[in-house]
Structure 1
């Protein structure tokens, strides 16, 4: 149970048995078309207990010792505490304003980790680079001469490249605990080469350096602020902790952890670089920094702060301070602010990218942003933000944010766990073989995200747990292809092309589609997932600034308890202004929920797109949804907001009725004569977060 939300486990609802209901299909079963069964003989599906699913590809595996390019031991100076944090003396802040830290102290491990990755990447390319390039060239030539060109794939498929002949004999760099006790690495941004696996071994944590200069992406776009002059800040101004573009068969895995330390005080190795302080002053301006001078005290800050104050003795902001200030304070006042925070991982254009078993903690912004990936697998990963290390932050003393608030699911802003999406265009690029090297031959990438698997993960974060982004559509106009399509080039080793299954979700905004849906999202399968104390469980979101079509999204066998919004489907996600040419119309249809139990009080929202929105003469686009066996343990504890919706109900007790005034059409009828225990079993769905770094130990 969650210690921060002490609502007890609700007793199971006992109602009249319904003789014929739709099938309780789930992990390993076809969840798109339920069939009628006799629940007097069928067993309910037990959520959260499936250990093998024949509809998924094979589980990834860790490298063997013979497949190692290099093994790096942690320095014995760096030993993390039981709460997961580094002690302050490991990489101390320097007191006083306008003082630079020593790069050797604040970033001791980046160079040696990157050198090992680079050497491994060059070796991989020397062994299999030519074979990969030849496969791509052959596939591209075949497509050009085919009578019906394959518009879905540029070059060779990720499915072909997954074969052993395209993988080097040595491909992994392993970070390990030192025999003397050292178990931590501190590093600035790393480049993951093509074909290389970064293996973070059990007991090891890779900590992000706190030096803002390492993440600064350029000379005119600055990292570590909430605005640049009059412009809003952006995470695109910052390098990610781990980045990779143009990759084949790369991975980050192991039973260790990565901690971005967004809770910790930002420092700088360049004393002229502007740093924001928790009293909202700044140490300098970007204009003065450009000339290696200091602005006079009282000069207006140009990084989102108030005035330059060289005498301020308060601590520097943390990354999460910036996120809260930019999103909740400045943006709410001006509408033109956001944080320039680095992301944990950003990958653009890859074929076969895997995250396996690793724990991800405390990202300063989104944790993992994969765009244009053919074959993206996230399996057995734990994401926990904030973790116990955040609460142990010496600068916070129990009030970690600059405004005195303790961390919770609402104030570590924009810490999405996974945001897979399509890329902006198809490209032909050389593979990245190291931080400064590329392959001889080029590789074609079509820009779509496809063959995606999220399985057996534990996710707890301060924003979206998984958010599918259909923001880009690289296909030619008129091709009929959309941004994210789970039916695009589904591989032979799996049943579905985009699947989210067997996951445990805690804090966060649940499994989402959007809000970027303008290029479309379709054919997504979500089954056997639990939500415990989440802000949202199942959500699709867009608005008239984004538009887009979302369809054929199927959710099956879902348990949710103590969620603020168990079901949230809205075409009015934000209050952004209408585009100049008029509203972009979101259209959600053919959405299906099979077999769901909602325990505790919750809000439910079903909002399609109203006719004439914004004063334009557009027709209505109702939310078209089917709910089979969707049951609230306490229907009276459900708060419903609905409009412009066509809802088909079967074996469902949610308080939904036809309302012509709000354009709600309900086909079928909500009924109390339904017994959830006949089709779904949530008795083992909720488990403690399986790590000692959770705020309350192994349980929340």
Structure 2
């Protein structure tokens, strides 16, 4: 049973109820937030559900917890040389931009943090590694003996591995403020999170990413990090986040996590530096400091001024006094400028966290800021819980770039939520295949025994989070397909192997979404996404709300996505966006023949959704013969019940190729033979808005994280 920070006890005491009574009789209890005298209690499917106040939800597994002091492998204190400013940034003297920069200044803490993680990983493996391997061997043998067709070998389940016998007595590495001074910051390059280990970032501590680009691109021969494109025909690979090591990577891990009341700041707003003066960097005047061709020679060389750049810049200029670009400069240049001109550019920026193949992964209470690319990318995870996490990008620290003078983007724009590109908060998805591999026990070590992973995304819970970012707030990706060919199974399926401690396997509930592109499925859906439950979520001032989006370069089947009890206020674009025409990416080609991937959205439900203010609504299916490939149509099949707006005349609706069933709807949804829209039911402005959902307590200020809010609202206390 989950209790959220004492809220439920206080609520029930005022109502004369007990936890035992609620646990036995209700799925959810919602307590009004209007003050100590509030006595509103509601349950799902009751008269009216009050969004944003649920303090107990038996659909969910128990709330995670922080480690105890006795479970800590090592405690590392921050150096007194690193003290965060009130805006969340480091002062310029903390890691200056000298050319070249000293490694000890640019990246002082990576080695000691990694050493502590490695030692803890080795200790965990020594204590429980053999037990995990034995359990997996038994489960794998039984699954092979069963010989179930079209089912990948999953090995021991994450649910089994959550039991105490598979967890070490000491498993956490804790980062704390300096005990004798003011130091509260760590600067690190990429870290490897071992299996069974939790990185605990304590309250008041910020883990900063190093600005030294070479930390993310350590191999002299490449691939290279910190660029946007390379000349046609080059063997170098540019414009890809895969060129860069992530700040935190976990591969083949069990019972790992990143927790605490501290922060991680990737500092994508800050000027890139390098500890090697010959490493090519781009500057805001579009020149470059060197070429990869010269840097990669046996004895590093300096290209002559005027030599064409091979990293996305114009020409080498050793005399330029312009500052180096930031990660977000590269993202804007690659994605919005060069990609528009050539169609081949992107940014080679590092991601904050990447997890591939995991069982039982936890992010709890941590604050994530200013990622250079996606914040969290988990693939092929059985059992991931993201609970009480805050993501704010850009944060106030993004305005602290000493060289920016209030206009930090190289174009002269001030950083804002619309120009920090590809900063998705959470992109959970499947892996490309099932594997059997050794667990990662450290940055260079693995377990003696192997463990199986089936590659699916399973048992994913995203609850009680606060998210404001420059792209998708959360997006389920069905791009990789671990399923055996011809099985008809989905890569992301909320009904697969659902654990006994929850009702569904794919849950997004009780979250507050601010700026960003909302809760999405796609763009990649080619491997299929099904059975996702999205309920009790509030969107306040977001760019988009609820979305399923793809195209016939990445399309596939999306079904049984259920949205319930949703409040959406003041979106700048679309409150609802369901479209198979999201982009114009090139259709895949196989053997010289175009092979489109056809989007098919069906069995989508929206129940009790209130839209406040003007907004766009797009409801589109896939038309037959789109692109001239002769394929059949796949109409959007959707039911909408009690989906209302307080501004009916402020809704701009686009619909085509859709079969819609509506009841209690005042959106302008009408049949259209010309657009192949069939409507079962009648929309009317006479709908009673109070029959949908109660949004009176849905919207709250982003919780205080020691900084000022960038976009004008008053910050609430934690």
**TM bucket by the smaller chain?**
over 0.9
Name the SS for the 1:333 alignment partner: helix
| Cross-structure match for 2:465 | 457
Say if 1:153 and 1:503 are closer, same or farther in 2 by CA, change over 3 A: farther
Tell me if the contact between 2:144 and 2:153 (Cα under 8 Å) persists in the aligned partners.
Answer: no
| Cross-structure match for 2:351 | 343
Query: More relative contact order in 1 or in 2 (CA 8 Å, sep 6+)?
Result: 1
Query: 5 Å matches for 1:384-403?
Result: 384-403=392-411
* Aligned-partner Cα distance in 2 for 1:648–1:114: 55
* Aligned-partner Cα distance in 1 for 2:544–2:345: 25
1:253-285 deviation line (CA, Å, top 9, x unaligned) = 000000000000000011110000000000000
1:189-247 deviation line (CA, Å, top 9, x unaligned) = 10000000000000000000000000005423100000133365100000000001000
Q: CA deviation at 1:677?
A: 1.9
* Aligned-partner Cα distance in 2 for 1:342–1:386: 16
Say if 1:42 and 1:146 are closer, same or farther in 2 by CA, change over 3 A: closer
| Cross-structure match for 2:528 | 520
| Cross-structure match for 2:12 | none
Q: CA deviation at 1:698?
A: 6.9
* Aligned-partner Cα distance in 2 for 1:390–1:697: 16
Q: CA deviation at 1:396?
A: 1.4
| Cross-structure match for 1:4 | none
Name the SS for the 1:530 alignment partner: strand
* Alignment gaps of 5+ in structure 1: 1-25, 30-37
1:286 matches 2:295 = no
Query: 5 Å matches for 1:614-625?
Result: 614-625=627-638
Say if 1:393 and 1:513 are closer, same or farther in 2 by CA, change over 3 A: same
| Cross-structure match for 2:710 | 695
1:68 matches 2:72 = yes
Tell me if the contact between 2:152 and 2:484 (Cα under 8 Å) persists in the aligned partners.
Answer: no
* Aligned-partner Cα distance in 2 for 1:165–1:245: 22
Query: 5 Å matches for 1:1-400?
Result: 28=28, 42-94=46-98, 99-146=99-146, 148=148, 151=151, 153-179=153-179, 180-216=181-217, 218=219, 219-230=221-232, 232-291=238-297, 292-400=300-408
Match of 2:478 among 470, 473, 486: 470
Name the SS for the 2:535 alignment partner: strand
1:519-571 deviation line (CA, Å, top 9, x unaligned) = 00000000000111111100001111112000000000000011121000000
Match of 2:578 among 569, 574, 591: 569
* Aligned-partner Cα distance in 2 for 1:348–1:174: 23
1:639 matches 2:641 = no
Say if 1:236 and 1:169 are closer, same or farther in 2 by CA, change over 3 A: same
Tell me if the contact between 2:223 and 2:238 (Cα under 8 Å) persists in the aligned partners.
Answer: no
Say if 1:476 and 1:567 are closer, same or farther in 2 by CA, change over 3 A: same
TM-score in terms of structure 2 length: 0.90
Q: CA deviation at 1:392?
A: 1.8
| Cross-structure match for 1:5 | none
TM-score in terms of structure 1 length: 0.93
* Aligned-partner Cα distance in 1 for 2:438–2:418: 41
1:589 matches 2:602 = yes
Q: CA deviation at 1:696?
A: 5.5
| Cross-structure match for 2:16 | none
* Aligned-partner Cα distance in 2 for 1:245–1:112: 21
Q: CA deviation at 1:479?
A: 2.1
* Aligned-partner Cα distance in 2 for 1:537–1:153: 37
Tell me if the contact between 1:143 and 1:149 (Cα under 8 Å) persists in the aligned partners.
Answer: no
Q: CA deviation at 1:152?
A: 5.2
| Cross-structure match for 1:578 | 587
1:437-476 deviation line (CA, Å, top 9, x unaligned) = 1111111111111000000000000000000000111111
Say if 1:623 and 1:697 are closer, same or farther in 2 by CA, change over 3 A: closer
* Aligned-partner Cα distance in 1 for 2:553–2:440: 36
Q: CA RMSD in A?
A: 1.6
Say if 1:104 and 1:505 are closer, same or farther in 2 by CA, change over 3 A: same
* Aligned-partner Cα distance in 1 for 2:576–2:534: 14
* Alignment gaps of 5+ in structure 2: 1-25, 30-41
| Cross-structure match for 2:699 | 686
Tell me if the contact between 1:543 and 1:571 (Cα under 8 Å) persists in the aligned partners.
Answer: yes
Say if 1:156 and 1:150 are closer, same or farther in 2 by CA, change over 3 A: farther
Q: CA deviation at 1:181?
A: 1.2
* Aligned-partner Cα distance in 2 for 1:400–1:685: 34
Moved more, 390-399 or 602-611: 390-399
Tell me if the contact between 2:28 and 2:55 (Cα under 8 Å) persists in the aligned partners.
Answer: no
* Aligned-partner Cα distance in 2 for 1:573–1:687: 31
* Aligned-partner Cα distance in 2 for 1:433–1:188: 19
Number of matched residues?
662
1:123-165 deviation line (CA, Å, top 9, x unaligned) = 0000000000000000011111126469255210001000000
| Cross-structure match for 2:34 | none
Tell me if the contact between 2:208 and 2:266 (Cα under 8 Å) persists in the aligned partners.
Answer: yes
1:59-82 deviation line (CA, Å, top 9, x unaligned) = 000000000000001001111011
* Aligned-partner Cα distance in 2 for 1:479–1:28: 37
Q: CA deviation at 1:334?
A: 0.5
* Aligned-partner Cα distance in 2 for 1:208–1:698: 28
Query: 5 Å matches for 1:523-672?
Result: 523-563=531-571, 564-579=573-588, 580-672=593-685
* Aligned-partner Cα distance in 1 for 2:319–2:673: 64
Name the SS for the 1:680 alignment partner: coil
